[in-house]
Chains A and B, each alone.
Chain A
Amino acid sequence: MPQKNTSYRPTEPMSYKKRAGYLTEQVLHWIQSEDSKVSAAIIATEELGHFHSEDIHYSLRCLEEQLIRQDLIQWVHRLKLPEVPSFESQETICCIHAGNLPLVGLQDLLAVLVSGHRYVGKLSTKDPYLLESLLGFLSNGLFGDQIQSWSRTTIQEVFEPYDRVLFSGSSDSLEHIQYAFYQSGQATPTTQWLNRTASFSLYYCESMSEFNEQKEHLIDAIFRHQGRGCRSVAVIAAPFGLNQIADHFNQALSNFFEQHPGRAVALKQTPQENRLSPKYQQAFNIAVQRDSIQWGDWSIEEHTSTHAPTPYHSNQMYWLKVDPRTLPDLIEGYGGKLQTVYTAEETHLTDPLRTAQCPALYWKADGIDTLEYLCSNTIRA
């Protein structure tokens, strides 16, 4: 049975801004306090072995920065939500946490709590401890009445079906989860699904000098979380070819793996199902005279932008030499699979590369503002 929060208290009227403020304080306290048991959760997560230890600590540092910067309060301001929320009804929102990164889906949890709705969480067996620790901590405070339950079991009994489900993943896995939810009564035809299916991001590099300036950010955008996040760079588009930058790229990779020897090992441990081993990959690229860089199990190969392949394996990236005028067509061609386009500096259509792995908390997954979505039934003045 899922853990059910029994410390129910009637929700006191609270503005979104206040809710965001209290949540900021509470989560910061969880991160920074010695009595919050977050250290035990970190150790347990490290021992589970799905994530590189550096990435676990990075995720927590990133969250801390976002909260100190008051991202949650800014989120409320940006949406111009009314001072005092008035729902048509308080809803039960099920958040599915995929487990590919530490604390993945935390944005959804925070958005639900700021929105005032009830939270039910499906935690992945790959990342059960951190979120569990945070949920346990928050349950004992102001947000206790909103946090209904959390569980590592997908199929379970529920008291009533969810009003909405926040899902991130492929359309194949969505089909399975929807089936499981409908069969178990957790969802009905009236349950609304917010499905985010983008799986990778693209960096457009304007010049070779920009490449050299950005290469540290780029390496982090590529290798943080072993390339498994949808914000990870998997495609680089540039008006010059890979061979023109190969020496600099190789040097950057060499420096990176020298400073982080565990990364190369971790890359090797990432299963790359149905993919030819590096020596066959290399033989093929040489056979068809394709420029590529290989570093153990990781590779980047140059393709034409007219037939831009979709990156699936976290160890495989693509370089596309493009005419800048065709960049919009390339982006449109990737459709919903592409999460974010990065450039060196922010534009109205792109994010700065340096924020790839630590964006603002109000970033829009698949272009959708989760808090705005959850507050869609809020009566506005």
Chain B
Amino acid sequence: MNHSEQRPDFFLNDSLSFEQRMAELFAYQVQWNPVYQRYCSVLGWSIEHKQDITTGQKLPPFLPVEAFKDATVLCTPPASHAWYTPQKDPLFFQSSGTQAMQRSKHVVLDPLLYTSSIREAWSSYFGKDNWIIWAYTPGYQDNPHSSLLYMINHLMQQDHTRLSRYLSLHEPLDLDELEQLHASGHQVMLFGAAFGWLDLIERHEALGHTLKLPPSVKIMETGGMKTFRRAISRQQLYHRLIQGFGLEPHQLVTEYGMTECLSQAYTSEGMWLTTPHWMRILVVDPSEPHRIMSCGEEGRIAIVDLANVHSCSFLLTSDRGISDASGAFQVLGRLEASQLRGCNFLVEQDG
């Protein structure tokens, strides 16, 4: 298999093994992505290693996602290349944050790669039936560079009932409308970040409402813990959302994605996330990311996202996680640098 025979969206072709697809993308990116090429070169990797990847003997180096803050992570093949995509109408995604913060920038040359990834994963996890999308988030127009809002907007456009919308962030949920939609046989997915849902629960509790969302309604929790005003573990969050919205476990879905990725992982029930067939999550040694941790052993989350055709498919995050034997994983939080500068009397260590 070589580039000239395959379209870039071949990552969706699961008649090819994951390793074959991964090797193809590695070969493309190590050749034509200058940032990734330099990274691999220092680590002693080149296109010569393609075969090792195809046979599953080795995994390519994982590029720290911080590269998306410090450089443009983009493949720039010549126009003669089969995968050459002119930079006519690229998508430009930027991570959230203030002006003072350095933000990740992801240039997506071919929007079809992103929308294909969104639709195929959605279909795989939630079926081909129509979903109404309600988003408890800022609107896409307010934040056109958010990859999450782009995804939500795209899913809303697929809704043939035209009942999808962005919810007001200052109002409680319209429970009557949700009941009516359920009664008329519709499915509703409520998108929102963790802190948004916790605020909404508190708003309803303040109004004396006991929430019990109808069975055809699901909550999609999209992360955002690191900006939350108070410390809460994922386990506490999970139980609070179940209890606060009166959900059955299968009604709560967690989504794991980021600006630097075009694919997302989802939970089906509980706290273990799984990935679509073109994405893989590994848990690696935080300091030596070529070393893969054993099942149940905590480490740093690394991602292989084959939809990231024109940027980098092999990413090293700053998230902590664990995985199990089936490849499912949990996100445990951020991999914070412990403060080793300055005084720090730690009760557990010092007294």
Contacts and interface: CB of A to CB of B under 8 A. Distances in A.
A254 interface: no
Most-contacted residue by chain A among B63, B70, B288, B343 (CB, 10 A) = B343
User: Secondary structure at chain A's binding surface: helix, strand, loop or mixed?
Assistant: loop
A36 interface: no
Interface string B16-47: 00000000000000000001101101110000
Interface string B35-67: 110110111000000000000000001011011
B285 to A, nearest CB: 9
A153 B69 CA distance: 44
A274 interface: yes
A122 B350 CA distance: 9
Contact of B289 (A98, A173, A280): A280
Contact of A275 (B42, B337, B339, B345): B337
A166 B347 CA distance: 15
B345 A199 contact: no
Interface stretch (A41-49, A72-80, A227-235): A227-235
Nearest to B63: A287
A286 interface: yes
Contact of A288 (B61, B67, B300, B345): B67
A199 B71 CA distance: 29
A96 to B, nearest CB: 5
Interface string A145-172: 0000001111100000000000111101
Contacts of A283: 38-39, 42-43, 61
Nearest to A199: B342
- The secondary-structure label for the interface of chain B is loop
A119 to B, nearest CB: 16
A11 B341 CA distance: 39
A230 B347 CA distance: 20
A314 B340 contact: yes
B287 interface: yes
Contact of A99 (B38, B338, B345): B345
B321 interface: no
B141 to A, nearest CB: 27
Interface residues of A, number: 63
Interface stretch (A14-22, A26-34, A305-313): A305-313
Contacts of B346: 169, 173, 176
Contact of B351 (A152, A169, A284, A312): A152
A209 interface: no
B344 interface: yes
A99 B342 CA distance: 10
B351 A125 contact: yes
Contact of B42 (A230, A276, A282): A282
Contact of A177 (B61, B336, B345): B345
Among B41, B70, B286, B335, the most chain A Cβ lie within 10 Å of the Cβ of B70
A200 B344 CA distance: 12
A118 interface: no
B102 interface: yes
Nearest to B101: A307
Given A152-B351, A287-B35, A313 B287 contact: no
B235 interface: no
A200 B342 contact: yes
Nearest to A100: B343
A200 to B, nearest CB: 5
A177 B349 CA distance: 12
Interface residues of B, number: 39
A52 interface: no
Contacts of A152: 351
Contact of A312 (B39, B66, B341): B341
B325 interface: no
A287 B350 contact: no
Given A274-B286, A274-B336, A312-B338, A180 B347 contact: yes
Contacts of B64: 276, 280, 284
Interface in A114-128: 122-126
A283 B36 CA distance: 10
A169 B39 contact: no
A169 B342 contact: yes
B100 interface: yes
Contacts of B63: 284, 287
A169 B344 contact: yes
B342 A198 contact: yes
B70 A230 contact: no
A277 B42 contact: no
A154 B351 contact: yes
B345 A167 contact: yes
B72 to A, nearest CB: 10
Contact of B39 (A99, A176, A287, A313): A287
A242 interface: no
Contacts of B335: 274
B127 to A, nearest CB: 40
B351 A270 contact: no
Contacts of A154: 347, 350-351
Contacts of A153: 351
Contact of B341 (A126, A168, A230, A284): A230
B350 A99 contact: yes
Given A170-B342, A229-B342, A275 B71 contact: no
Contact of B342 (A275, A280, A307, A339): A339
Contact of B345 (A155, A173, A333): A173
Interface of B: 35-36, 38-39, 41-43, 61, 63-64, 66-67, 69-71, 100-102, 286-289, 300, 335-347, 349-351
24 contacts: A96-B345, A99-B345, A154-B351, A168-B345, A169-B344, A197-B342, A199-B342, A199-B343, A200-B342, A230-B341, A270-B340, A273-B338, A275-B337, A280-B43, A280-B287, A283-B39, A283-B42, A284-B66, A286-B41, A287-B67, A307-B101, A312-B338, A312-B339, A313-B341
Given A307-B69, A333-B100, 13 more contacts: A123-B351, A126-B349, A154-B350, A196-B343, A199-B341, A200-B342, A230-B342, A273-B338, A275-B286, A276-B64, A276-B287, A277-B287, A312-B340
